[in-house]
Amino acid sequence: MAKKKKNTKQILYPTLAMIALTAVLTLALALMNDATKERIADLEALKVQRTILYVLDVEVDPEDYSAVVSTYDAMISPASLGALEYYEARQGDSLIGYVFPMNGAALWGSVKGYIAVSPEYDKILGVDFVSHSETPGLGGRIDESWYKEQFRDMPIPEDGGRVVIYKPSDGGNADSISGATLTSDAIRKLIDSTIERILQAERSGA
């Protein structure tokens, strides 16, 4: 009988210890997961803030977290036109532009970015992308400065015509990416359709 109790204890104690260890590890992993999610959310928010300041051509060190956050908080406020959400940008009492999200499809998947327009809606102030699935070295070159910077101060036609026209077409005002014709065309369509949506909302007031 004593031997049986001893065997029971030999089985029970390791089992309880294993259960306790599993519970502790599970709790630790859950806490780490929550902390990681919060950190990821903070980094995503910072990326969006950097992007919004970039499309507005605001000079701030993108690696200086405090500078990015303080500049963003001082200049940017959310707004909406009906269901269309956007951001207003001000320097002091002066309105310097509006920033709108861009969402669409490229060659290999969805593209998300932001576009800034002047207060008069007559020119693009800047364009940038926060996520895409395009091929590095080809369509992925939409992230390169030379490509994005060519949209700075690009006029928006009053008649609602095409905004982006790739060279060498008549009236060409931008260069496409060599070897990435489909991605380039997708970005052109994304910018044009976003501008069209913005102008429609502005003219209707909703």
50-83 pLDDT per residue, tens: 999 999 999 999 899 999 999 999 999 999 988 8
User: What pLDDT is recorded for position 5?
Assistant: 54
What would the two tokens of residue 37 be?
């999610």
User: What pLDDT is recorded for position 16?
Assistant: 72
**C-alpha separations of 151 from 25, 37, 172, 193 in Å:** 51, 34, 12, 15
Is residue 28 within 8 Å of residue 36, measured between CB atoms? no
Q: What is the pTM of this model?
A: 0.80
User: What pLDDT is recorded for position 166?
Assistant: 97
User: Which parts of the chain have pLDDT scores under 50?
Assistant: none
119 cis-preceded (ω within 30 degrees of 0): no
Local structure of 40: helix, strand or coil: helix
The pairing of strands 154-155 and 123-131 is antiparallel
CB atoms within 10 A of CB 89: 23
**Most distant CA pair in the chain, distance:** 99
Q: Rg (Cα) of the chain, in Å, rounded?
A: 26
